[in-house]
Structure 1
Amino acid sequence: MWSRGVILKITINSTCLAKRKCVFLACLRKLAASLMAAMDLAADPCTDFFQFACGTWNKKHVIPEDKPSISTFEVLAEQLQVILKDVLEEPLDENDSEATTKAKTFYKSCMDIHQMSKLGDVRLREVLATMGGWPVTMKDWKPPVDSVEVILGKARRDYNEGVLVEMWVGPDDKNSSVNIIQIDQMALTLPSRDYYLKANSQGDMEAYHRLMTRIALLLGADSDTARDELQKVIDFEKKLANVSVAEADRHDTSAIYEQMTLEQLQKAIPHLDWGTYLRSIIDVPITDSEPVVIYAMSYLRGMGEILAETDTRVVHNYVMWRLVYAIIPHMIDEYNRASVDFRRILQGILSERHRWSMCVEWTNKKFGMAVSALFIRDNFNHESKEVALNMIHTIRAAFNELLADNQWMDDETRAVAKEKADAMNERIGYPDLLKQPDELNKEYVKLNITKDDFIMNVLHVLRHEAYRNHQLLRQPVNKDKWSTEPAIVNAFYNPNRNDIVIPAGILQPLFYSQHFPKSLNYGGIGVVIGHEITHGFDDKGRQFDKDGNMMQWWNNATVKAFRERAQCIIDQYNKFKIKEIGMNINGKMTQGENIADNGGLKQSFRAYRKWVKQHGPEPDLPGLNLTHDQLFFLNYAQIWCGSMRPEDALNKVRSSVHAPGPVRVLGPLSNSLDFAKAYSCPLGSPMNPINKCNVW
Structure 2
Amino acid sequence: ISLSQEERMNIQSMFNEMSLQKLEETYPDFPWLRYTNQLLSPFAAVNKSELVSLNAPSYFQNLLILLKNSPQRTIVNYIIWRIVASILQFFDDSSQQNPEKWKECMDFTKNRMGIALGFLYVNKYFDKAAKESAQKMTQNIKSNFDDLLKENKWMDSNTRIHAIKKSKTMKFSIGYPDELLDDKTVDAYYGDLSLEQDSFFENYQKLKIFGRKKAFGKLHQRVSKDWTSYAESTKINAEYLSEENSVYVPAGILQLSYYNESRSDSLNYGAMGFIIGHEISHAFDSKGRQYDADGNLVNWWDDDTGKMFRDKAQCFVKQFNGYHVPEVNMTINGVNTLAENIADNVGLKISYRAYLKHYKSISDKKTIPGVDFKNRQLFWLSFANTFCGVMTLPRLRNYLLTNEHAYFKQRVNGALSNILSFADDFDCPMDTPMNPKNKCEVW
Same fold (TM over 0.5): yes
> Does residue 1:366 correspond to 2:112, yes or no?
yes
Alpha-carbon separation, structure 2, partners of 1:534 and 1:394: 14
From 317, 324, 331, the equivalent of 2:77 is: 317
Alpha-carbon separation, structure 1, partners of 2:312 and 2:194: 52
1:504-523 alignment runs, 5 A limit: 504-523=251-270
Query: Corresponding residue for 1:331?
Result: 91
- Code of the residue aligned with 2:161 in structure 1: it is A
Query: Corresponding residue for 1:398?
Result: 144
The normalised TM-score by structure 2 is 0.95
- Code of the residue aligned with 1:299 in structure 2: it is Y
- Code of the residue aligned with 2:249 in structure 1: it is I
User: Secondary structure at 2:191's aligned position in 1?
Assistant: coil
- C-alpha deviation, 1:267, in angstroms: 1.3
Query: Corresponding residue for 1:387?
Result: 133
User: Secondary structure at 1:514's aligned position in 2?
Assistant: coil
Deviations 1:227-261 (A, max 9, x none): xxxxxxxxxxxxxxxx2112332122111101111
Deviations 1:546-591 (A, max 9, x none): 1111111111111111111222112211222223211112221121
The 8 Å contact of residues 257 and 386 in structure 2, kept in 1 or not, is answered as no
Give the number of equivalent residue pairs: 440
Unpaired stretches in structure 1, ≥5 consecutive residues: 1-242, 341-351
Alpha-carbon separation, structure 1, partners of 2:417 and 2:314: 17
- Code of the residue aligned with 1:271 in structure 2: it is D
From 187, 202, 218, the equivalent of 1:472 is: 218
Q: Which range moved further: 524-533 or 502-511?
A: 502-511
The 8 Å contact of residues 239 and 279 in structure 2, kept in 1 or not, is answered as yes
Deviations 1:271-329 (A, max 9, x none): 11111111212244422211111101000011112212222211111111111111113
Alpha-carbon separation, structure 2, partners of 1:634 and 1:273: 56
- Code of the residue aligned with 2:71 in structure 1: it is D
The 8 Å contact of residues 282 and 471 in structure 1, kept in 2 or not, is answered as no
1:481-500 alignment runs, 5 A limit: 481-483=227-229, 485-500=232-247
Query: Corresponding residue for 2:298?
Result: 551
User: Secondary structure at 2:333's aligned position in 1?
Assistant: coil
User: Secondary structure at 1:472's aligned position in 2?
Assistant: coil
- C-alpha deviation, 1:330, in angstroms: 4.2
Deviations 1:636-683 (A, max 9, x none): 111111221101101211222222221221110011111011101011
Query: Corresponding residue for 2:66?
Result: 306
> Does residue 1:685 correspond to 2:443, yes or no?
no
From 161, 165, 168, the equivalent of 1:422 is: 168
Distance 1:617 1:249, change over 3 A: farther
> Does residue 1:293 correspond to 2:53, yes or no?
yes
Alpha-carbon separation, structure 2, partners of 1:550 and 1:419: 16
Larger radius of gyration between Structure 1 and Structure 2: 1
Alpha-carbon separation, structure 1, partners of 2:266 and 2:221: 45
User: Secondary structure at 1:562's aligned position in 2?
Assistant: helix
Alpha-carbon separation, structure 1, partners of 2:129 and 2:100: 34
Alpha-carbon separation, structure 1, partners of 2:193 and 2:74: 34
- Code of the residue aligned with 2:158 in structure 1: it is E
User: Secondary structure at 1:634's aligned position in 2?
Assistant: helix
Deviations 1:390-411 (A, max 9, x none): 1111111111111122222112
Alpha-carbon separation, structure 2, partners of 1:649 and 1:387: 36
Query: Corresponding residue for 1:251?
Result: 9
- C-alpha deviation, 1:418, in angstroms: 1.4
- Code of the residue aligned with 2:142 in structure 1: it is R
Distance 1:620 1:310, change over 3 A: closer
Deviations 1:454-492 (A, max 9, x none): 122222222332332222111121223443621121111
1:174-193 alignment runs, 5 A limit: none
> Does residue 1:274 correspond to 2:32, yes or no?
yes
Deviations 1:41-94 (A, max 9, x none): xxxxxxxxxxxxxxxxxxxxxxxxxxxxxxxxxxxxxxxxxxxxxxxxxxxxxx
Alpha-carbon separation, structure 1, partners of 2:189 and 2:22: 36
* CA RMSD of superposed structures (Å): 1.7
From 352, 357, 364, the equivalent of 1:610 is: 357
Alpha-carbon separation, structure 2, partners of 1:515 and 1:437: 29
- Code of the residue aligned with 2:23 in structure 1: it is L
The normalised TM-score by structure 1 is 0.61
The 8 Å contact of residues 449 and 457 in structure 1, kept in 2 or not, is answered as yes
- Code of the residue aligned with 2:85 in structure 1: it is Y
The 8 Å contact of residues 417 and 433 in structure 2, kept in 1 or not, is answered as yes
Distance 1:489 1:436, change over 3 A: same
Deviations 1:344-365 (A, max 9, x none): xxxxxxxx52121121112111
> Does residue 1:581 correspond to 2:328, yes or no?
yes
- Code of the residue aligned with 1:459 in structure 2: it is Q
Alpha-carbon separation, structure 1, partners of 2:299 and 2:124: 46
Select the structure with the greater relative contact order (CA < 8 A; seq sep ≥ 6). 1
Alpha-carbon separation, structure 2, partners of 1:369 and 1:617: 37
Q: Which range moved further: 655-664 or 552-561?
A: 655-664
Distance 1:694 1:617, change over 3 A: farther
From 113, 120, 123, the equivalent of 1:377 is: 123
- Code of the residue aligned with 1:385 in structure 2: it is K
- Code of the residue aligned with 1:366 in structure 2: it is R
Query: Corresponding residue for 2:184?
Result: 438
Alpha-carbon separation, structure 2, partners of 1:330 and 1:541: 40
> Does residue 1:353 correspond to 2:99, yes or no?
yes
From 517, 531, 542, the equivalent of 2:289 is: 542
From 367, 371, 377, the equivalent of 1:630 is: 377
Deviations 1:207-230 (A, max 9, x none): xxxxxxxxxxxxxxxxxxxxxxxx
Alpha-carbon separation, structure 2, partners of 1:519 and 1:634: 9
Alpha-carbon separation, structure 2, partners of 1:482 and 1:253: 27
Query: Corresponding residue for 2:421?
Result: 674
Distance 1:244 1:686, change over 3 A: same
The 8 Å contact of residues 337 and 405 in structure 2, kept in 1 or not, is answered as yes
Distance 1:330 1:584, change over 3 A: farther
Distance 1:469 1:679, change over 3 A: same
The 8 Å contact of residues 491 and 506 in structure 1, kept in 2 or not, is answered as yes
Alpha-carbon separation, structure 1, partners of 2:140 and 2:416: 22
The 8 Å contact of residues 271 and 305 in structure 1, kept in 2 or not, is answered as no
The alignment-based identity, stated in percent, is: 37
- Code of the residue aligned with 1:625 in structure 2: it is D
Alpha-carbon separation, structure 2, partners of 1:527 and 1:269: 46
Alpha-carbon separation, structure 1, partners of 2:200 and 2:277: 41
- Code of the residue aligned with 1:313 in structure 2: it is R
Query: Corresponding residue for 1:44?
Result: none
> Does residue 1:652 correspond to 2:399, yes or no?
yes
- Code of the residue aligned with 2:238 in structure 1: it is A
The 8 Å contact of residues 676 and 682 in structure 1, kept in 2 or not, is answered as yes
- C-alpha deviation, 1:434, in angstroms: 1.8
The 8 Å contact of residues 381 and 508 in structure 1, kept in 2 or not, is answered as no
